[in-house]
Structures are given as C-alpha cells and as structure tokens.
Chain A
Amino acid sequence: MRPFTYERAATAKDAAARAARTPGAKFIAGGTNLLDLMKIEVETPAHLIDVNGLGFDRIEPTADGGLRIGALVRNTDLAADMRVRRDYALLSRALVAGASGQLRNKATTAGNLLQRTRCPYFYDTNQPCNKRKPGSGCAAIGGFSRPLGVIGVSEECIATHPSDMAIAMRALDATVETVKPDGTARSVPIADLHRLPGTTPQIETALDDGELITAVTLPKPIGGTHIYHKVRDRASYAFALVSIGAIIQKDGSGRVAVGGIAPKPWRVEAAEAAMPGGARAVADGLLAGARPTQENGFKLTLVERTLGAVMAQARA
C-alpha cells in the first residue's frame, strides 16, 4: 500500500470541496473494496477523506411515501430494516445475496453502488487494462472472459458491475442524491449513475470530481412479488454469473433488471411490455445487441432460463 494522509470530514459540503481540490484524494466509508484495491496498488490515493462521521446513517420516510436511505447505511442494516423487508423485499433479497456477513456489516449503500469491477485483469497489475490504465489494452477480450460482460460492453472493456444491491435499486427506480464540491445538491436517477465504457472505461459514473453521494431514495412501494434470483458458481459468497431482480404483478406485468452481464445494472424498460408473454420475448428485448465472447455466450441462455424460473416462481 502506498502512504497516504488521512482526515475525518466534518460536513458533506466540506468533504466534497476538499476532495475536489486535494490531488489524489478519495472518500472512504466501509473501505471493503477500496482497501482491497489499495493493497494491490490498483488504487493509490494520496489522501483519504473518511466520511463515516457525516451522519448519513438513517433510513427515513419521504413525503411521497417512499424511503430515503442515508449513504452510510450499512448493507446489513438496510437489508434488515422492516420497511425494506416488507415493501421493497427485492432490495433486502439482493443485499443478502451479496458478499459475506462480515462485509455487509461494513459496506455502505453509496460504496456498494461505487464498487469497482471484479474483472481479474483489472486486479492484475501485470496485465493491460483500459479501465486501470487507459490506452494499455484489454486482456479480458480473448482472455478468461467467462465471468465478464455480454452487453453494453465495448472494444475497450468488457468488465461487469458486480453489485447485487444496484440491480434491485434499478428495478425500484431509485434516485441517487449527491452534493457537489460547490455545495449544490443534485439528484441522479440510478439509470444514469453508471456509464457504459465506450472508449473511456476508466470513467465509470456520472459523478463529478469530489461529488459525494449523500442518500438513495426509493419511490413509494409498487407492491407485486419481489424475487432476486442469483446464479453463481458457489451457493454463497460469490459474484453473480447472472442475476435477475424482478417485481411481478398479479396480471404478469412487471419489471426486470439483470446483473452479472453488463457494466451497469441492466434494464430495458421497453422489453418489459412482453412480460405477460413469457421469458423468451423479454430476454430477446433485454439482450438485443449483445456481443458475448466464446467463453461467456452461455449467459444469454442463462438470462432467459433464470427469468423463466423467476416468472414461474411468481405465478406459484
């Protein structure tokens, strides 16, 4: 790990301003992903701004019947909140499908959204990686690409976003609240938070330098059957090969977001019109334009079959 200076932020505004003007500064909250990457020097911040003391650790009702989740609410606490378990069960289910108990006790809501890909070539500093070192190439394309992306990917990068929680938040139409270094606040729909790699895979989100996530809000509950189905190589504590987050109503209509296949939580609203017709048509819409590698083409079939299983479970 490279040496770094460290401070505890006093206010969100101050933290954002300091992050924007301090060279090499990064926020740290749970630290479970950042410290892992610092140990192998994929991340080499010169300065850490600890935001744990900012008090964004509450879950509160909003005026329009939704929930406002503080950026620092730990994954365990979010999954265990009775309002979330009752009205946004998809979110609880997605959270407990991710990581381990120890990690969920530390990991935060905002940190979960901003965690980096687990592409093995991003982690291996001896390999080219356009995300880690822009312009160096992509060792994943033509390499071991079985766990990697099949859609939304580019010639420069086929990394996936690893979050389970974000899949649920995408299906729930969450909004991300931030504060910018100049002190102004803004709201970013979860659909617009993560960017596709294109020719700049090192730019992963729509956030500005120093912009700090303060909360994630959920609109009022929409009912329905909430199912998170994660397919992985182990029964527990493994990243998704494919995961389906679905909210299905009695008439068969609903929403679907997919994990494990793309650089961001993958949802195609237009494809959801086909939901009463079955999994095949929805999967066709979700995966139109997919460009799998030889090793990960199985994910296309797996999306359809997992979605079929989820739909059958909702009907049962």
Chain B
Amino acid sequence: MSDHADLEFSRRSILVGGAATVALPAIAHAEGAPVRAASEPPTLPVSLEVNGQRHNLQLDTRTTLLDALREHLHLTGTKKGCDHGQCGACTVIVDGRRINSCLTLAVMHDGDKVTTIEGLGTPDRLHPMQAAFIKHDGYQCGYCTPGQICSAVAVLGEIEAGIPSHVTDDITATIRPTNMEMRERMSGNICRCGAYSNIAEAMAEVAGEQA
C-alpha cells in the first residue's frame, strides 16, 4: 500500500515539475522501503566467468551480455558500435566461440566462460594477435579493434577446426588460411577507417606462426 502511495506521490510531483522529486526514490530506499511498483523490470541472478574471474550479478532480464560487461563489470574494452549485430565491435569469445555480445542476453549465459579483449593479453604480455595488429597497423581510430582482434583469434581457430566458409573451394578438403579466407570470415567486423588489408596481414602472420 505504502509503495503504491509513494508512486502516486512521485507521479504527481513529476507532473508539477519540482526538481526535488528526483530524490524521492533514494529516500524511500534509505528508509528500507524499496520502491517496487508492479512495473519494475524483472531481474535475475547471473553468474559469468569473465577472463578467468567469476562474477555474480543481479541483472534486469533485458541486459545484453555487452552491457553486462561494460556497464556492470566495467570491462569497457568491448565496444558498442551498432548494437544490432551488424558491425562486430562487440565481438567476444564465449565458451571458445566468437559471438556478437550485443545480440545475446546476459541471463542466457549463466555459468558461461567469456573472454574479452582484456583477457586475451595485457600491455606487458600481448596476445600474438594484438602484437601483430600493432606491427601491421591493423587499425587507425581503434574503436573496432577489440572486436576485430577477438574475431581474428577465433577465425584462426575456426580454420584449424576445418569449418568451411563461403570462399572455400572444396568444402570436404583441409582449409588453408589464405587471404581470401581471412577476408570472407572477417566480414562481420566493420572498420570505418578501412584497415582491412592490414588486419588480414596481421592475421596471416599469426596463422603462419601457428602453422
């Protein structure tokens, strides 16, 4: 009942337009009476293992994996570009596979292992793909780079695992990490600075080292 009254009061106050009304929910919380109207969005507990570290969160069901990483765990290396799965800036590796973290809900990943750019390497101990991006100038502004690198690391794994692509000539034969394969497989990562050819060269170097 009192919750309802609080809500009614704050609604009226907002209509009146008083700046003081902004403080109302905080006061209600301080008094131990959380404002919990029927319209409050549902939340659920979620446990994520990010870069080897376990995190227990209570999240609005609408929270994407991307927003959980950036806004709740403050791992801002993973970027929000289009937020619709078109640009690839949000690419992370979940249970060994690259996905668009903007197009999946955090609650759908309870117990999953997530690797972000922060988990691939550190400034002192770069992942070979990070080092190759620097060497080959695989970026200019850098915004798409964390997604590009996570994607590139996973692409080499996909080629090794024998997963075919649109440009694979013989889909039953062993797949080689050619320049065409890299370009096709990276098409879900947009770079508005146009560093594509250098990205493909960085990938070729790492693929060569692995071979």
Contact = CB atoms under 8 A, between A and B. Distances in A.
Given A32-B85, A76-B163, A101-B155, 14 more contacts: A6-B44, A6-B61, A6-B105, A32-B100, A35-B103, A35-B105, A52-B108, A80-B163, A100-B85, A101-B151, A101-B154, A101-B187, A103-B100, A106-B103
Chain B facing A: main interface SS: loop
A287 B10 CA distance: 62
A189 B164 CA distance: 28
Instruction: Give the interface centre of B39, B97, B168, B186 by most chain A CB atoms within 10 Å.
Output: B97
B36 interface: no
A102 B151 contact: yes
Interface of A: 1, 3-6, 28, 31-32, 35-36, 39, 48, 50, 52, 76, 79-80, 82, 85-86, 89, 92-93, 96-97, 99-103, 105-106, 234-237
Nearest to A1: B62
Contact of A3 (B41, B98, B184): B41
Contact of A237 (B39, B60, B107, B187): B187
A181 B187 CA distance: 40
A103 B164 contact: no
A3 B42 contact: yes
Contacts of B154: 101
A52 B186 CA distance: 27
B44 A102 contact: no
B172 interface: yes
Contact of A4 (B62, B161, B172): B62
A105 B189 CA distance: 14
A50 B108 contact: yes
A101 B161 CA distance: 14
A234 B187 CA distance: 10
Contacts, number: 109
Instruction: Give the interface centre of B62, B103, B158 by most chain A CB atoms within 10 Å.
Output: B103
B164 A39 contact: no
Given A36-B84, A39-B83, A102-B91, A92 B164 contact: yes
Given A31-B105, A93-B171, A106 B185 contact: no
Contacts of A32: 85, 100, 103-104
Contact of A79 (B85, B98, B163): B163
23 contacts: A3-B39, A3-B60, A5-B42, A5-B61, A28-B105, A31-B105, A35-B103, A36-B103, A79-B164, A80-B162, A85-B164, A85-B171, A92-B171, A96-B165, A100-B188, A101-B98, A101-B154, A101-B185, A101-B186, A102-B88, A102-B98, A105-B99, A106-B104
B116 interface: no
Contacts of A235: 184, 187
A96 B166 CA distance: 5
B100 A106 contact: yes
A28 B103 CA distance: 12
B64 interface: yes
Nearest to A236: B187
Contacts of B168: 96
Contacts of A52: 108
Contacts of B161: 80
A97 B171 CA distance: 13
